[in-house]
Every structure is written in structure tokens, then in C-alpha cells.
Chain A
Amino acid sequence: MMWLLLAGAVAAGPGASGGGSQGAGAPADPEVQRQAEAEERRKLEEQVARELGAPPASGAVPSAPAPGAVAPGGDPYARLLLLPDISAIGRGALAWNRLDAGSLSPRQGPVAPAGKLQPIFQELEVGLQAVVDPYLRADVFLTFGPEGAAAEEAYVTTLGLPGGLQVKAGTLYAPFGRQNQQHPHVWDFVDGPLSQSRQVAAEGLKGPGLDVAWLAPLPWFAELHLAYQETTPAFEPGGRRTGTARLVQFFELTEGVTLGAGLSAARLDEGGGGWRDLFGGDLYLRVRPPRGRAYLTLQAELFARRLSAMADPALDGAKVGGYGQAFLRLSPFWGLGARWDTAPGQAAGLPGGPEQRGSAVAAWYPSEFSRLRLQLSYDRLPGGREGLEALLSLEFSLGAHGAHPF
């Protein structure tokens, strides 16, 4: 109906105008005629607007999209925008050890047979990271190593829970201590501290479960974690149901000086009424003048482990270990570090007492995406045996790897 009326109006308009001027028989003044036509058009536009229920024409008509903004057929490459960030980080080392560390000093990290220069492929970590939807992001890290492939971590993180809460769910590192939650390629040293391997978990305390973190409404950073997971502790097979609690705080002492302090506790169900209790305290101090890229970090962790009501009563008891380290990034391209580490001796047949280890590392960073490190370590086993270890490690990073937490 509306279209019929419109068509009528369009048909009638010019005819009425033309008939009027011709009927007068006078020579048409071009200016008058133009004004008349403009007036007719204005009336017609008003009529069209009335019929369509649209507001009278005023202001600029929205322009057509600029050429190029809408390509014919769309953008065939737009799907790439939806790909998650994909990255791969590879690590390998040339290792030499005077001791037979594999049997005398079991640990995480590249270990060579005694007296042999051994090339070791440590790990290839493949990361897939993206926002899932407006409520969640996901981080997946697959690791390929000499023992095969596994999901190092694969979890979702909530983005907007109220009350300062944040939940991570999936398979993830337990919120226990500082270094336990860091991937090896973030470490300043080529291997992890002995004390963490022995007291907490050989490959890091991790497993499926969830971690609920609450950020306290305080002027500094204070976060309380409560986690429930299945984890596998140091050098022992089988998962244990594990509850972990951690309070971590960060303070800006002065400009460029940040102090972090954490306390952690975990209880692992050893079955048959037995329990493994882990306690940890960690300190982290970072001094970084705003100008330039140099910084100094000091990091120390203390771990205590207590076994109680175990099926084998000989296992019951408590052990303590820990490490302290300093790392100086001299420039964008060079860094130096030193670490001292003490942990209970692990190998069978050794007398009781702690194993001590001192390490020094020199790192060269050709760019932000590769580093070459030389680490020299000196081990002193319970009973007095000593040995030197040398590790030359190469690491490279491809693609877009998400930035790491502090």
C-alpha cells in the first residue's frame, strides 16, 4: 500500500509542476523554475518521510562504507584472527658430570652419565593461549620430552568473578612456593633447585584440579589461594589427593624495589591413613632502576616435609631443605647468577645428612627470543663425595608466547 502511494506521489509531482509553468504561457525564468523544482522536491521528500515514518531529511545522509572497508566476498584471511597465540619453546643442553648423578643425586634437569659429554634434549613446550569467551581465558602448554608428550598445564582462568575471586580449573601447577608455578624456561638457572625436587615434587607439584584465588582489597597485592588437586610428589608413582593453601604478597618498597613473600602448605593423602605435609616459605626481592634494563633479583625458598602414619613407619619423620639465589641482569644481553642449595640426600646407600650444591650461571641473550647459558655446579653428597657438573644450555622461543606473571 505504502509503495503504491509513493509511486503515485513520484508520478504526480513533476507532472503537476511542469503543467503549472507551461499553462501560464510565459517564458520560463530559469531561476524561478529551479526554485520551484527545489520546492517540489522538498515537499516530495517530506511526503516520502511521512509515509515511511522516518524523520524529515535533516543533516547529512550516512555515507556508504569507504571503498576497501568491505571487500567483496569478505576477507579470506580473517579466520587467522581467531587462532590462539601459538608458541614453541625448545630447550637442550650439553651436559658433563664427574659424579654418576643419575643414581647418586636423583634430580630434575639435564643429567649426564659420569665422565661423559652428553647432548640432551630437554623439552619442547608448545603453548596455545587465547580468550575463550567474555568470561574465560585458556592456557594450554604441551610438553614434548625424552619421555614422550604430556600436558604440562591446560587450564581455564575466570576473568570477571566478583569479590576479587579468580578460579583456575584444569591441570595446573599447585600454588605452592614461587618456583613451583614457573615453567622451566622462565628459570634463571638451567635446572631446578635440588631442594624443590626432593622435598616437593620432582617435576613440580601439579595435576588436575582447581585453584581458587582471592585478591584481598588492600593497597598492596595480597592473594590467598586454596587448591584441590591430584598430584604426584617427589620420585614416587601414583597420584595423591592434595589440598594446598598459599598466601602471597607483593609490596613496592621504593620505586624500582619490589618485595614478594609467600607462605604455602599442602597436605597429600598417602592412603591407609598416612599423610604427607609440605610447608614452604619464599622470599623474592627485585631491584630494577627504572632507566635501563639491568636488574638484580634475590630469591630464597625453604621447604619442610613431614610424613606421618605411613604404611611403612620407617618413613615417618620430617626433613628440611632450601635454596637461595641471586641473579644480576647486567644488560639486555648478559646476566650472571649464583645459587646455593641444600636438600636431604636421596640415593639409597648414602649416609644420612644433607646434600649441598653450589651453582654459578652466565647467560647470554642474543635477543629476547634465545639464550645460551653456561652453568657450573659443585655437589657435595652426604658422606663427603664431591663432584663438578657443567651444563651448556640453548633455548629458543618461536611465535607469540604470552607474558609470564612476575
Chain B
Amino acid sequence: MTSRTKPALLLLALLLPPARAGAALQVVTTTEGLGALAREVGGAQVEVTTLSRGTQDPHFVDASPVLAVKLRSADLLVDQGLDLEVGWLPPLVTQSRNAEVQPGGRRRLTAASAVTVLDLPTGPVDRSRGDVHPAGNPHFLTDPRRAALVAQAIARRLAELDPAHAAAYAANAAAFSARLEAALSRWRAELAPFQGRKVLTQHRTLGYFLDWTGLVSAGELEPRPGTPPSPAHLARMVELARREGVKAVIVESYYDTRSGELASRLSGARLVVVPGDVGADPQARSYQAYVELLVRKVVDALRG
């Protein structure tokens, strides 16, 4: 090799796409919940990277360019959609240079497309109603039924991208759904005595959880999504909690719990700090463990 060809070859090597560590598909997910589902379905055939942590509020993740590097060689990007990640994912996708993970791309799966969506705003929508999600509530992974549908959608997309392992992906998704189905019966039995009970939540993050558990929201500590609880609003919520016999104030671990603590102390309802996602608690390492913990904490509070 001459001294002239060496720099040219080096330049060529730098321009080539980065080498893959192994044959496994690189799956990048925006949240740890989606990451857990991708691991269940992909098994040993995928390597999963998540852009945010379960301890983080998924609305407010920093769009660090370091995350764009993770997207550059992604074989599949799975996002929640419904504008949950609108504040940070789009610039990362643009910076990634990966054309196929753009919205609608072959290597982009928006999980919301696999589920029916709750809390679609009706009538005129503007931000006097707070930081609303105009396309509906994006926190659907608190519902195991919808999580199973997302897992199946991931399996279908992985099968398209990697047909050689299509049967394995389908079998993994089916086995995961079956395990969730069995757990769901158990969880429902545990929750059966509390059907129709009213609870307070911080934000509308738990709409899907309430939908499948049969619990009912008495109200939210935030007067409108994304706005801080004012003293007057908190006082109204405390009155409401006393009047309606609310037993639990449920707040995700990524929120400041001061308002929840106050509402709990003044109303007599128990404050339940629940994991915001998979990975938010050492006990919530898998999707099933996350829902298990969510159910256990809520049931314990309602029993008390």
C-alpha cells in the first residue's frame, strides 16, 4: 500500500456504514416499556436499545445528539406515537441519517397504530385545555391487552424485516400474549372487590389502566394536563376525595409527589407512587413485572 492510497482507504472506511456487532437486528425503542415488549418478541434475534429510561417522564426527554447515533444503524425504531415523543424524537430522527426510520418508513413502527385509542378530544381543541394530546392518550402500555397487541405488531414487523425468523417472532408473541392473558385473569380477580372505586391521579397517564381494572377516576391533581396544581384546585380535589370516599392518590414515580402527598394527607386517601414504566423500579424489570407491581401497589392502597 502506497502512502497515497492509505489515506484514501481510511476515508472510504469512514464513509461506509458502521459495522454491525453481530447478526442480531438492532431494535431501538423510545421507552423502556416498548423495549421490554421488543425483547419478549425478538428473543435472541434482536438487540434492544431504549432512548429513555423508565424513571424519566417520556414527554420530556432531552434530544441529545448522542441518541441520534443510536438511531443511525437501527434496523427498527419503535415509538409510542400520539405526540408522546414529539418534543424530542423528530430532531433525532432527522439527525440520524437513517431514511428508513422516518415516519412511515419500513423500519419505523409507531405502536399506537396497533391499538384503539382513548381520550380523543372532542369539540374544539386548543391549549386552554392544557398540553393535550390531540390524537388521543398515548399512555396505552398501562393496559396489558393493548401491550399484547403492540407485541404482535412488533412481531409482524420483525418478520417482514427478518423473514428467516418469522415463525420464532410469531411464536414468541403468542407465548407472551398467553402469559399476559393468564396474568390478566389473576390481576382481575385481585381487583374484583374494588370495581367502581374512585381514585385520584396526577395526570391522565392512567386512563388505560383504569379502563381495564374497572377503577374510576374522581379527578386529576393537575387542573389541566401539564399545568401545576393550584392551591384552589388541590383544595377542590381534597373535598372531592373526602366526599367520594377516594382511597388512593396514584402518582407515577417521575412526577414530583409533593401535591400528591398533600392531597393524601388532607383527604385521608393513601398516596401510591407507582412505576411510570418498565425499569422505573428494580422490581419492574419486565413488562409483566411492571404491571404486577402497578396492580399490587394499587390493590394494597385500596385494601388499606
A interface list, Cβ under 8 A from B: 131, 134-135, 137, 157, 159-166, 215-221, 223, 250-252, 255, 258, 260, 286, 288, 290-293, 295, 331-333, 366-369, 400, 402-406
Interface residues of B in 8-26 (CB under 8 A from A): 14-18
- Given known A-B contacts A250-B64, A403-B86, A405-B95, A290 and B56 have beta carbons under 8 A apart: yes
Contacts of A400 in B (CB 8 A): 86
Q: Which residue of B lies closest to A157 (CB)?
A: B94
Number of A-B contacts (CB under 8 A): 111
Question: By DSSP majority rule, is chain A's interface helix, strand, loop, or mixed?
Answer: loop
Q: Which of B44-61 contact A (CB under 8 A)?
A: 53, 55-57, 60
Among B15, B16, B94, max chain A CB count under 10 A is at B94
**Distance A273 CA – B90 CA, assembled complex (angstroms):** 44
Other-chain contact of A402, B15, B55, B69, B90 (Cβ < 8 Å): B90
Stretch at the interface among B97-105, B112-120, B177-185, B199-207: B97-105
A290 touches B95 (CB 8 A): no
Q: Are B226 and A367 in contact (CB under 8 A)?
A: yes
Contact A163 B65, CB 8 Å, known A291-B253, A369-B127: no
Q: Within 8 Å CB of B97, what residues of A?
A: 159-161, 164-166, 215
Decide yes or no: A406 and B228 within 8 Å by CB, A131-B102, A164-B15, A215-B72 being known contacts.
no
Known A291-B55, A403-B86; contact A286-B14, beta-carbon cutoff 8 A: no
Q: Are A137 and B127 in contact (CB under 8 A)?
A: no
List residues of chain B with CB within 8 A of the CB of A215: 68-69, 72, 95, 97
Instruction: Contacts A219-B69, A293-B60, A406-B65 known; list 16 others, CB within 8 Å.
Output: A137-B94, A159-B97, A160-B100, A163-B15, A164-B15, A164-B17, A165-B97, A215-B69, A217-B72, A258-B66, A260-B65, A288-B62, A369-B131, A404-B63, A404-B91, A405-B95
Flag if B64 contacts A402 (CB, 8 Å).
no
Instruction: Judge whether B127 and A367 touch: CB under 8 Å.
Output: yes
Structural contact, A252 and B64, CB atoms closer than 8 A:
yes
Report the bound CA distance from A252 to B226 in whole Å: 28
Task: Determine the chain A residues whose CB is within 8 A of the CB of B14 once the complex forms.
Answer: 216-217
- Does residue B176 face the partner (Cβ distance < 8 Å to A)? no
B254 within 8 A of A: yes
Question: CA–CA, A179 to B65, complex, Å?
Answer: 16
Please list the 5 inter-chain residue pairs (A to B) with the smallest Cβ-Cβ separation, ordered nearest first. A160-B99, A221-B65, A163-B15, A217-B18, A290-B55
B55 near A251 with CB under 8 A, answer: no
A163 to B14, CA, bound (A): 8
User: Is B87 engaged at the interface, CB distance under 8 Å to the other chain?
Assistant: yes
Q: Which of B53, B89, B91, B131 contacts A290 (CB 8 A)?
A: B53
Chain B, residues 74-108, CB within 8 Å of chain A (1/0): the string is 00000000000011111100110111101100000
Most buried by A among B56, B69, B228: B69
Q: Is A403 touching B63 in the complex (CB atoms < 8 A)?
A: yes
Is A403 touching B91 in the complex (CB atoms < 8 A)?
yes
Tell me, in angstroms, the Cα distance from A352 to B15 when the chains sit together: 49
> Do residues A250 and B90 form an inter-chain contact, with CB atoms below 8 A?
no
A residues within 8 A CB of B72? 164, 215, 217
Tell whether A286 pairs with B62 under 8 Å between CB atoms, given A131-B102, A165-B97, A166-B97: yes
In the complex, how many angstroms separate the beta carbon of A178 from the nearest chain B beta carbon?
12
Residue B66 contacts which of A221, A295, A403, A404 (CB distance < 8 angstroms)? A221
The A-contacting residues of B in range 243-290, CB under 8 angstroms, are 253-254, 256
Chain B residues with CB below 8 A from A405, complex form: 63, 65, 91, 95
- Is B90 within 8 A of A367, CB to CB? no
A367 to B18, CA, bound (A): 41
